Amino acid sequence: MVLSIFKVLWNNLKQGPSTDPFPFGETFTPARLRGKVAVDPEACVGCGVCATVCAGNAIKHVERGDGSGKDFYVWHNTCTFCGLCQHYCPTDAIRLTNNWSTAHRNEDKYKMKEHEFVAYARCPQCDQAMPNMPHAMLDHIYGAPTEELEAIYKLCPECRRQKAAQQFGAQIHD
Amino acid sequence: MSNTYTIPVGPLHVALEEPMYFQVDVKGEVVQSIEMFAGHSHRGMESLALERNFFQNIVLTERVCSLCSNNHPLTYCMALENIAQIQVPERGQYLRVIADEVKRIASHMFNVGIGLHVIGFNTLFMHAMEVRETMQDLKESIWGNRMDISANTIGGAKYDLDDELEAYLRKTLEELKKPVEEFKHMYATHPQVKARTKDVGILPPEAAIEYGLGGPVARGSGIDNDVRKETPYAAYDKLKFNVVLGEGCDVRSRALVRLGEIFESISLIEQCLDQMPKGPICCDPLPDIPAGQAVARSEAPRGELIYYMRTNGTMYPERLKWRVPTYVNWEGLRVMLDKAKVADIALIVNSIDPCLSCTER
Ligand code: SF4
Ligand code: SF4
């Protein structure tokens, strides 16, 4: 039962190399490996929490001049793969993929980034631009949203106030 | 032939590939006295911490040292939790212990392995690294990185275990027991290993107390001191384990303490998996961090780690200070290296499991 060093050597001979044959073959990449960050612009509300907690200051949100939305940048070479952005994002819009391939030529260093456009939503009544409110966020705040909420959540704050007052007035009349 | 002369040891490759410079006075091949010079890897981290908010500092403290990289953010978070009176959910507490102990196993295996490399026994060194590799794969599968596992955040743990990973963790630990048992046997019985490590780098228990040493260094001299027992944090008060002690007071005894602790760690993780309740893993939402100050301490693989933090009501710490195990343990080298052979210097230095990147930070 107890090994001697010779048995270790013999077992090593029988087993062959313990290292992965990379780059000529596959290497160990578990599903949870913390690799390059990916952003889902549809799910993002632009709250900026990810940029606040980001240890490497790898995340930049830049407002577009025409008010149509925000450019969302993640710099892979500045990212520490810590996963704080993923942990604190309220809508799971930002997450770490298990793609660890970051090797690149020096001339490509400014291309090593994730760029998404997070478009602002438009109020269906007055066309005012405002941060997008994905359903995931609504669920996060209210649990299962009610019908009334569904009717007003896409409106801008001003129109929403009016609509809510109308709904409330109608209730009193009933 | 009894002239005394001075030789430099280091600053590179003393034992670990970390910079530390020893000025050694020798007579023949026997060490008469040593002078230690540190500061080669100072990165100004205490100052950097003041420029980062509480969240960013979780990651900064993790980068202080790669082998204790779980204990630094853990202790940092505990200090912050003390200031803000945050209660970590029970499941979060157990998850913290699991992360801590997996890191400890890998760290101890690494140190004992390097010790063998220093004495030139590279076959057994490579075998130690291979045994340790199962822990690296485990860390990569559960936490997503081989060294910086990023397991903790303010108010709890950042990861959770599903059934599949829990089964994988149990299986890996079960499969680890036999190789570590065999490895320990080989370490303890191999005549050459014994010849190089027995009665080398003697640290009498009185000296360990006088110099205030901690961790496996003190326990290798029979000093029963372990933060996990003295002031239990996370879920350690709900778990059973023994403090492993050694009698030899030498390099070999310290290595055997580390190997013995691996079994305690395995048992601790298994107890966690058995006892861990379902539920939240992290306090949500986080309360505001008020102005205040606090100290937190934990048992890192190298010994007692202490964090002091002062806050001022903003998102940034006003002062963050840490005292790492190697800072106290390397003073013990004065005792251990006294009258040692020149050829044993690297081995003795390695036996305190020095971590210079966190000591000089
Ligand atoms: S990715 Fe998440 S945290 Fe970042 S701005 Fe979008 S919603 Fe907020
Ligand atoms: S993983 Fe960490 S460093 Fe990278 S973008 Fe997210 S928060 Fe920033």
pLDDT digits (tens, 9 = 90+) for A93-152: 899 998 888 888 999 988 888 898 888 888 888 888 888 877 777 777 777 777 777 777
- The confidence score (pLDDT) of residue A23 equals 84
The answer to whether position A58 is within a domain reads: yes
Task: Count CA atoms within 13 Å of residue A50 on its CB side.
Answer: 29
- The confidence score (pLDDT) of residue B40 equals 81
The beta-carbon neighbor of B150 closest among A52, A54, A83 is A83
Whole-angstrom distance, CA of residue A10 vs CA of residue A4: 10
**CA B42–ligand 1 middle distance (angstroms):** 35
Contacts of B63 in chain A (CB under 8 A): 80
Contacts of A9 in chain B (CB under 8 A): 123
Q: Do A56 and B59 touch (CB under 8 A)?
A: yes
Q: Do B137 and A2 touch (CB under 8 A)?
A: no
Q: For chain B, how many structural domains are there in total?
A: 1
pLDDT digits (tens, 9 = 90+) for B98-148: 999 999 999 999 998 888 888 888 888 888 888 899 999 999 999 998 898
Q: Among residues of chain A, what percentage have pLDDT more than 70?
A: 96
Q: Are residues A48 and A115 in the same domain?
A: yes
- Name which residue leads in pLDDT, B95 or B41: B95
Crossing angle for the helix pair B54-62 and B71-84, to the nearest 10 degrees: 150
The pLDDT-based confidence of B2 (bands split at 50, 70, 90) is: low
The answer to whether position B96 is within a domain reads: yes
- Name which residue leads in pLDDT, B267 or A168: B267
Pairing of strands B152-153, B156-157: antiparallel
- Name which residue leads in pLDDT, B321 or B12: B321
Q: Are residues A134 and A165 in the same domain?
A: yes
Nearest to B72 by CA among B159, B150, B20: B150
Q: Is the pLDDT of residue A2 over 60?
A: no
Q: ipTM of the predicted structure?
A: 0.82
Q: For chain A, how many structural domains are there in total?
A: 2
- The confidence score (pLDDT) of residue A12 equals 82
The answer to whether position B20 is within a domain reads: no
Crossing angle for the helix pair B163-189 and B122-142, to the nearest 10 degrees: 170
The pLDDT-based confidence of A1 (bands split at 50, 70, 90) is: very low
> Which CATH number fits the domain that encloses residue A47?
3.30.70.3270
Q: Are residues A36 and A115 in the same domain?
A: yes
Distance of CA B61 to the CA centre of its chain: 14
pLDDT digits (tens, 9 = 90+) for A64-73: 888 788 889 9
Q: Do B55 and A52 touch (CB under 8 A)?
A: yes
Crossing angle for the helix pair B90-118 and B71-84, to the nearest 10 degrees: 150
> Which CATH number fits the domain that encloses residue B253?
1.10.645.10
The answer to whether position B304 is within a domain reads: yes
pLDDT digits (tens, 9 = 90+) for B161-192: 988 999 999 999 998 888 898 888 888 888 88
Domain span holding position A71: 31-100+107-119
**CA A82–ligand 2 middle distance (angstroms):** 5
Q: Are residues A60 and A112 in the same domain?
A: yes
Q: Among residues of chain B, what percentage have pLDDT more than 70?
A: 98
The answer to whether position A6 is within a domain reads: no
Q: H or E segment at B196?
A: helix B191-197
What's the gap in Å between the CA of B234 and the closest CA on chain A?
Answer: 21
- The confidence score (pLDDT) of residue B96 equals 93
pLDDT digits (tens, 9 = 90+) for A40-81: 888 888 888 999 999 889 999 988 888 788 889 999 989 999
Nearest-atom index, ligand 2, CA of A96: 1
- The confidence score (pLDDT) of residue B95 equals 93
Cross-strand partners of A129: A122
Q: Are residues A157 and A90 in the same domain?
A: no
Q: Are residues A138 and A111 in the same domain?
A: no
The pLDDT-based confidence of B38 (bands split at 50, 70, 90) is: confident
Task: Give the range among B3-17, B31-45, B153-167, B230-244 with minimum mean pLDDT.
Answer: B3-17
Whole-angstrom distance, CA of residue B184 vs CA of residue B118: 18
Determine which of A8, A28, A52, A86 to mutate to test the interface with B (most B C-beta atoms within 10 Å): A8
The pLDDT-based confidence of B55 (bands split at 50, 70, 90) is: very high
- The confidence score (pLDDT) of residue B101 equals 93
Q: Do B144 and A52 touch (CB under 8 A)?
A: no
CB contacts < 8 A, A to B, total: 75
The answer to whether position B361 is within a domain reads: no
Over residues B292-303, the mean pLDDT reads 91
Instruction: List C-alpha distances in Å: B44 to B49, B53, B316, B319, B360.
Output: 9, 16, 17, 13, 8
Q: Are residues A139 and A113 in the same domain?
A: no
**A55 φ/ψ angles, rounded to the nearest 5 degrees:** -70, -35
Taking CB atoms and a 6 Å cutoff, what residues make up the pocket around ligand 2? A 37, 53-56, 58-59, 74, 79-85, 96
The answer to whether position A14 is within a domain reads: no
Q: What value does the mean pLDDT of chain B take?
A: 88
Neighbours of A172 (CB within 10 A): 6
Nearest to B263 by CA among B174, B197, B190: B174
- How open is the CA angle B125-B130-B134, to the nearest 5 degrees? 145
What lies within 8 Å, CB to CB, of B342 at 6+ separation is B7, B24, B26, B29, B30, B31
- The confidence score (pLDDT) of residue A75 equals 92
pLDDT digits (tens, 9 = 90+) for A143-165: 777 777 777 777 888 888 888 78
Q: Are residues A114 and A154 in the same domain?
A: no
The beta-carbon neighbor of A84 closest among B55, B127, B143 is B55
The answer to whether position B75 is within a domain reads: yes
Q: Is the pLDDT of residue A85 over 90?
A: yes
Answer for the pair B212, B225: CB distance below 8 angstroms, yes or no: no
**B268 φ/ψ angles, rounded to the nearest 5 degrees:** -60, -45
Would you say B77 is a known binding-site residue? no
Taking phi over 0 as left and psi of -120 to 50 as alpha, with beta for the rest, B201 belongs to left
- With tokens 């030789």, the residue in question is B7
Of the residues A82, A88, A89, A98, which should be mutated to test ligand 2's pocket, given the most ligand atoms within 8 Å of the CB? Answer: A82
Over residues B294-309, the mean pLDDT reads 91
Would you say B272 is a known binding-site residue? no
The beta-carbon neighbor of A83 closest among B124, B158, B190 is B158
- The confidence score (pLDDT) of residue B66 equals 81
pLDDT digits (tens, 9 = 90+) for B76-102: 999 999 998 888 999 999 999 999 999
Over residues B305-332, the mean pLDDT reads 90
**B286 φ/ψ angles, rounded to the nearest 5 degrees:** -80, 135
Q: Are residues A126 and A91 in the same domain?
A: no
Q: Are residues A158 and A95 in the same domain?
A: no
Q: Do A5 and B123 touch (CB under 8 A)?
A: yes
Answer for the pair A112, A34: CB distance below 8 angstroms, yes or no: no
Q: Do B56 and A96 touch (CB under 8 A)?
A: no
- The confidence score (pLDDT) of residue A3 equals 60
DSSP 8-state class, residue A58: -
Helix, strand or coil, per DSSP, at residue A97: coil
DSSP 8-state class, residue B282: B
Q: Are residues A173 and A133 in the same domain?
A: yes
Domain span holding position B235: 42-338
The answer to whether position A152 is within a domain reads: yes
Whole-angstrom distance, CA of residue A51 vs CA of residue A88: 10
Kindly state the tokens that stand for B336: 């251990």
Distance of CA B341 to the CA centre of its chain: 27
- Name which residue leads in pLDDT, B158 or A172: B158
Q: Are residues A150 and A124 in the same domain?
A: yes
The answer to whether position A1 is within a domain reads: no
The beta-carbon neighbor of B142 closest among A12, A32, A81 is A32
